[in-house]
């Protein structure tokens, strides 16, 4: 496909964003018999199945590019090949009101454009709500004309789950889903020509760079990904905690992380650290002792460590204690070397 064809496909809106499966991160691949089905359950068009040994199977003919699966994978084994979601927190800095949309829904040129709003994980929704003093708007007006028409319902469920997790509406109450044109909204023609054409240029540049990256991609790229990987949404959430000065927002965001405890049954075999896909658990030696360290900012709560521990000595607890925020690496267990 030529660059001209690529650009034509982009503006026709008929080509879904590329989706990559990184098998070495997948929980089903890391432990034989693991029953993780988050991506399978989240996919509304049944484009993902768990029949593939050591992972999942993607059906590109069924995929509509909503990227909903990427928002729920705890190890980021499913990744959308679109840099705009990763760049969104930087673009959101300093804006009182954040408006998100896809390429079909641009009105003013001031929006933050994403490949599809179905890619927004609950952690990212919380991050953007914490950044925006006057709230977040998710423009879903054009969803009814899209193959991913289910995205509004998906985001409603995701926001409900986030609200249940946080236990209050302090953050989620500032997020609004725009499902139809609002009265009094200025038409595109009256918007700043400069900002509108700036958005047009950004889309064109994105399509061109994405095409060049696809042409230059290494066919063995999947094997080059790090064995331990921190999902980007966790890094964004941790940064939002560091940036916020509001105590109630600070407390709410900490609830999206996890705490880990180890009982006396632990024999320090280190298997949990080896299986952890995000690098949240590490085993080290210092002086005359062994240590198991837990990096709460990297833990996605996938539960693979609990599943692999034969002693059942590990317990994951939702939420973080604010007093423990000062140290990233928390020593959980220390044993003398025999």
Over the stretch 77-111, which tens digit does the pLDDT of each residue have? 999 988 888 888 888 887 889 999 998 888 877 88
pLDDT at 105: 85
Q: pLDDT above 70 covers what percent of the chain? A: 73
Q: Which residue has the higher pLDDT, 215 or 131?
A: 131
Rg, C-alpha atoms of the chain: 21
Q: Which CATH class is domain 19-80?
A: alpha beta
Give the dihedral sign, CA 11/13/16/17. Answer: positive
Where does the pLDDT of residue 329 fall: very low under 50, low under 70, confident under 90, or very high at 90 and above? very low
Where does the pLDDT of residue 202 fall: very low under 50, low under 70, confident under 90, or very high at 90 and above? low
Q: Is the pLDDT of residue 327 over 50?
A: no
Lowest mean pLDDT among 8-12, 18-22, 43-47, 249-253: 8-12
- Determine whether domain 257-336 maps to CATH 3.30.930.10: no
pLDDT at 96: 87
Lowest mean pLDDT among 2-6, 44-48, 112-116: 2-6
Where does the pLDDT of residue 190 fall: very low under 50, low under 70, confident under 90, or very high at 90 and above? very low
pLDDT at 328: 38
pLDDT at 1: 45
CA 221/CA 82 separation, integer angstroms: 16
Rounded mean pLDDT of 157-181? 86
Q: Which residue has the higher pLDDT, 4 or 328?
A: 4
Minimal CA–CA distance to 17: which of 80, 69, 103? 80
Rounded mean pLDDT of 158-177? 86
**Could you tell me where in the chain the CATH 3.30.70.3270 domains are found?**
257-336
CA 113/CA 314 separation, integer angstroms: 41
CA 334 centroid distance within chain: 33
Lowest mean pLDDT among 40-44, 159-163, 223-227: 223-227
Residue with tokens 């939002």: 240
pLDDT at 215: 44
Rounded mean pLDDT of 23-35? 89
For 205, residues 6+ apart whose C-beta sits below 8 A from its C-beta are: none
pLDDT at 184: 52
pLDDT at 326: 39
pLDDT at 296: 93
Q: Is the pLDDT of residue 13 over 80?
A: no
Minimal CA–CA distance to 101: which of 116, 122, 120, 119? 116
Rounded mean pLDDT of 227-237? 91
pLDDT of 244-290, one tens digit each?
Answer: 888 888 888 999 999 998 888 888 888 899 999 999 998 887 766 77
**Could you tell me where in the chain the CATH 3.30.70.20 domains are found?**
19-80
Q: Is the pLDDT of residue 302 over 90?
A: yes
pLDDT at 270: 86
Mean of pLDDT over the chain: 80
Q: Is the pLDDT of residue 155 over 60?
A: yes
Distances (CA, A) of 212 to 9, 72, 201, 205, 216: 15, 29, 17, 11, 6
CA 152/CA 253 separation, integer angstroms: 24
pLDDT at 11: 54
In this prediction the pTM is 0.81
Q: 104 with 187: CB under 8 angstroms? A: no
């Amino acid at each position: 496909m030529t660059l001209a064809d690529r650009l034509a496909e982009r503006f026709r809106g008929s080509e879904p964003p590329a989706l990559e499966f990184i098998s070495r991160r997948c929980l089903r691949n890391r432990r034989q018999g693991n029953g993780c089905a988050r991506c399978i359950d989240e996919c509304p068009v049944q484009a993902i199945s768990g029949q593939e040994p050591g992972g999942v199977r993607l059906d590109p003919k069924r995929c509509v590019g909503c990227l909903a699966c990427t928002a729920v994978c705890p190890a980021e084994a499913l990744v959308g090949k679109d840099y705009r979601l990763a760049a969104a927190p930087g673009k959101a800095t300093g804006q009182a009101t954040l408006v998100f949309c896809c390429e079909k829904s641009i009105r003013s040129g001031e929006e933050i454009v994403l490949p599809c709003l179905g890619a927004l994980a609950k952690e990212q929704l919380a991050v953007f709500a914490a950044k925006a003093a006057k709230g977040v708007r998710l423009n879903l007006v054009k969803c009814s004309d899209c193959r991913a028409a289910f995205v509004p319902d998906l985001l409603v469920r995701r926001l409900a789950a986030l609200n249940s997790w946080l236990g209050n509406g302090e953050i989620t109450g500032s997020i609004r889903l725009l499902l139809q044109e609002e009265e009094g909204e200025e038409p595109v023609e009256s918007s700043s020509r400069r900002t509108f054409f700036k958005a047009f240029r950004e889309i064109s540049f994105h399509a061109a760079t994405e095409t060049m990256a696809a042409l230059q991609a290494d066919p063995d790229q999947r094997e080059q990904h790090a064995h331990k990987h921190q999902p980007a949404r966790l890094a964004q959430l941790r940064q939002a905690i560091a940036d916020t000065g509001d105590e109630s927002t600070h407390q709410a965001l900490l609830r999206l992380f996890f705490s880990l405890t180890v009982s006396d049954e632990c024999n320090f075999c280190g298997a949990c650290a080896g299986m952890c896909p995000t690098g949240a658990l590490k085993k080290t030696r210092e002086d005359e002792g062994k240590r198991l360290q837990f990096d709460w900012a990297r833990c996605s709560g996938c539960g693979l460590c609990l599943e692999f521990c034969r002693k059942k000595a590990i317990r994951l607890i939702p939420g973080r204690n604010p007093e423990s925020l000062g140290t990233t690496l928390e020593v959980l267990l220390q044993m003398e070397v025999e």
